[in-house]
A and B are shown apart, each in its own frame.
Chain A
Amino acid sequence: MTVAVALAYLLAAVLFILGLIQLSSPKSARRGNQIAAVGMVIALLATIPLLHFTAAGIAITIVGILIGVPIGAVGARRVKMTAIPQMVALFNGVGGGAAAVVAVSELLLQGSHPVFAIAFPSVFSIVIGSVSFAGSLVAFAKLQALVTGTPITYPGQQIVNGVLALAIVALAVYLVAVASTPVIFVPLLILGLVLGVAFVLPIGGADMPVVISMLNAFTGLAVAASGFVLGNFALIVAGTLVGASGTLLTKLMSDAMGRSLGNVLFGAFGAATAGPAGVAGAEGRSVRSGSPEDIATLLAYSRKVIIVPGYGLAVAQGQHAVKELADELEKRGVEVEYAIHPVAGRMPGHMNVLLAEANVPYDQLKEMDQINDEFKSTDVALVVGANDVVNPAAHNSPGSPIYGMPILNADQAKNIVFMKRSMRPGFAGIDNELLYDPKTVMLFGDAKDSLTKLVAAVKAA
Chain B
Amino acid sequence: MSENLLNEFTVFVLAIFIGFEVISKVPTILHTPLMSGTNAIHGIILVGAILIAATARDPLQIALGLVAVILATINVVGGFVVTDRMLEMFKGRQKPTEKEKTPPPAPPQKEKTSG
Chain A residues proximal to chain B, CB less than 8 Å: 16-17, 19-21, 23-27, 29-30, 32-34, 36-37, 40, 43-44, 47, 50-54, 56-58, 60-61, 63-65, 67-69, 71-73, 75-77, 79, 81, 84-85, 87-88, 90-92, 94-95, 97-99, 101-102, 104-106, 108-109, 117, 212-213, 216, 219-220, 223-224, 226-228, 230-249, 252-253, 256, 301, 303, 332-335, 340, 342, 347-350, 352-353, 356-357, 359-363, 365, 367
A117 to B62, CA, bound (A): 25
- Interface size classification for chain B: 35 or more
List the A side residues contacting B101 at CB < 8 Å.
361, 363
Given the interface pairs A40-B41, A104-B64, A353-B32, the reply to whether A117 lies near B93 with Cβ below 8 Å is no
Chain B residues proximal to chain A, CB less than 8 Å: 2, 4-5, 8, 11-12, 15-20, 22-57, 60-62, 64-94, 96-97, 100-101, 107, 110-111, 113-115
Given the interface pairs A26-B29, A117-B5, A303-B111, the reply to whether A67 lies near B37 with Cβ below 8 Å is no
List the A side residues contacting B12 at CB < 8 Å.
224, 228, 236, 240
| Cβ distance B46 to chain A, nearest Cβ, rounded Å | 7
Is the beta-carbon distance between B93 and A360 smaller than 8 angstroms? yes
Is the beta-carbon distance between A239 and B42 smaller than 8 angstroms? yes
Nearest B residue to A246, CB-CB = B38
List the B side residues contacting A237 at CB < 8 Å.
11, 15
List the B side residues contacting A223 at CB < 8 Å.
42, 44-45, 48
Nearest B residue to A71, CB-CB = B74
Given the interface pairs A223-B42, A349-B30, the reply to whether A87 lies near B78 with Cβ below 8 Å is yes
Is the beta-carbon distance between A105 and B54 smaller than 8 angstroms? no
A57 to B63, CA, bound (A): 10
A283 to B29, CA, bound (A): 38
List the A side residues contacting B44 at CB < 8 Å.
40, 43, 223, 234-235, 238-239
9 A-B pairs whose Cβ atoms sit less than 8 Å apart in the complex: A60-B65, A61-B50, A85-B32, A95-B71, A216-B42, A220-B38, A238-B42, A241-B38, A244-B17
